[in-house]
Amino acid sequence: MAKLLNFANDIDTEHPHAGIEALRALGPVVPMKMPLMGKIHVTTTYEATAALLTQRERFVSEPKNAGKSGSPVPFPLPPSVRYLMDGFIQKDEPDHRRLRGFVDKAFAKSSVTALAEASYDHSIELVDRMKGTAGQNGGVDYLTGFSTLMPMRVISVLLGFPPHMQERFLEWMKPLRQMEVTPWGIFRILGSVGTASKGIETWSKTLVNADAQGLIAELVNLQEGTDRLSANEMKAIVFTLIIAGGETTTHLLNGALWYLLKHPEMKEHLRANPADIPGFVEEMLRWFCPLTTTKPRLSACDQDFGGVRLKAGDMIFPSLLAANTDEAVFTDPWTFDLKRSNAVQHMAFGSGIHNCLGRPLVRIEAQAALEVLLDRWPDFQADEGGKEPWYMFKNTMGRRSFKWLRMRSA
């Protein structure tokens, strides 16, 4: 029997083309192995990925609905973060519908205008600061200067944190911004989430029946008949939005800057044609695919899928990057094409009932970040004068992430 590839290590983060196409050649669903989880399966085509994410009678999120017991994660969670399993992203119907209903109602009251203004305001402040730092020091790291900060600042506005809570929130989330998918890295992330959850829960109690603004206040006070969210459900929803929304935007922004620094002709085109920025963002979501996979599904029963035989409870990961680079849907898929007519069909936000709730915010943030950068720092370029390369990817499972992206003025 051939040796199984390692899902965490055998697809190169910077150059995934060869690895993805090698997997696709083996079939639409391929067995692999993953640390802590053992044998898994991975989709390699758009059709198989769509089926996995949308066919709820065949693929489920909760082990109990696949005839299994225990937790969806392969290791015990500390009590301080165990509530994360109460979020809608971990649930099947009807529990998912109930929780998502609360979130949709709360989101509907969020001001898109206010979030757009916050995105532009924070982008202006951070870009001006980066430009100044680069002028003083000869260069600046985009990750520490912008891409890990701006999304978290905007999310703090969405959640309704007052200024003093925004600073505490950014401090709590620092381990998440510096995330490494290693045992120690996961421990640090869980610790920061535990600390933040205590602070958010304490603060949220002051919002009950109060005239306060923001998503947390809406979640705390929403009621459907006699049904209200529990404290754990509220916290799980908040951290799902923080982790999924913040991460997606950060990696998208990094990928966009990396591409522009490697293709200055695209930078000049977007400066001259800012109306093309939304299309650039959409194609970047497809081509770069900031989150290359999303949470796994479990086979609800013994069944055939994509040419393999699955048993009830078998774990299947949807490869969003493989879906986004399937030539059956996207012509010349590994080429970035600003004028691609069907880029919006990408699966960077997933599909089905668990599609990314924050996708409008990701688009707002990315467009604001690019417009401001191109307008206020038009002569930025790669900082190639140091001893180290100007950029470095890190091999983080499921993410196109960087260690650094260094830039300077011309």
Where b means 16+ CB within 10 Å and e means fewer, 395-409 reads ebbbbbbbebbbbbe
Beta carbons of 154 and 119 less than 8 angstroms apart = yes
**Which residue reads 């699966």 in tokens?**
347
d(CA 221, CA 348): 32
Closest C-alpha to 220, from 81, 357, 102: 102
Q: pTM here? A: 0.91
Name which of 124-128, 230-234, 263-267, 312-316 the model is least confident about: 230-234
Report strand pairing: 303-305 vs 308-310. Answer: antiparallel
For 256-308, how does the pLDDT look when each residue is reduced to its tens digit (9 = 90+)?
999 999 999 999 999 999 999 999 999 999 999 999 999 899 999 999 999 99
Please check the confidence at residue 37 and state whether its pLDDT lies above 80.
no
pLDDT of 33: 87
pLDDT of residue 376: 98
Give yes or no for residue 30 having a pLDDT over 90: yes
Q: Which tokens go with 360?
A: 């409008």
pLDDT (0 to 100) of residue 1: 42
Residue 28 — pLDDT band, cuts 50, 70, 90? very high
Convert the pLDDT of each residue in 136-158 to its tens digit: 999 999 999 999 999 989 998 88
CA distances from 7 to 48, 175, 292, 306, 348 (A): 17, 24, 11, 18, 18
**Residues in contact with 321: Cβ distance below 8 Å, sequence separation at least 6, in sequence order:** 16, 20, 289, 292, 293
CATH superfamily of 17-409: Cytochrome P450 (1.10.630.10)
Rg of the chain on CA atoms, in Å: 21
Q: What is the pLDDT of residue 243?
A: 73
CA proximity to 354, closest of 134, 28, 53: 53
* CA pair distance 81, 366, nearest whole angstrom: 30
Reported as a pLDDT band with limits 50, 70 and 90, residue 185 is: low
Which pLDDT does position 80 carry in this prediction? 64
Average pLDDT, the chain: 88
| Spatial distance between the Cα atoms of 69 and 63, rounded to a whole number of angstroms | 6
State the pLDDT at residue 171: 77
pLDDT of res. 109: 73
Cα dist. 401→251, 254, 292, 365 in Å?
6, 8, 10, 18
Confidence at residue 226, expressed as pLDDT on a 0 to 100 scale: 86
For the chain, domain boundaries: 17-409
Q: Is the pLDDT of residue 194 over 70?
A: yes
Query: What is the 3-state secondary structure of 106-136?
Result: HHHCCCHHHHHHHHHHHHHHHHHHHHHHHHH
Listed in order, strand segments (DSSP E) in 92-250 are 140-141
Is the model more confident about 320 or about 33?
320
Indicate the pLDDT class of residue 162, thresholds 50, 70 and 90. confident
pLDDT of residue 261: 98
pLDDT in tens, 70-123: 766 665 666 666 767 777 778 899 988 898 888 888 887 777 888 999 999 999
- Answer yes or no: are the C-beta atoms of 324 and 348 closer than 8 Å: yes
Judged by average pLDDT, the poorest of 218-227, 367-376, 377-386 is 218-227
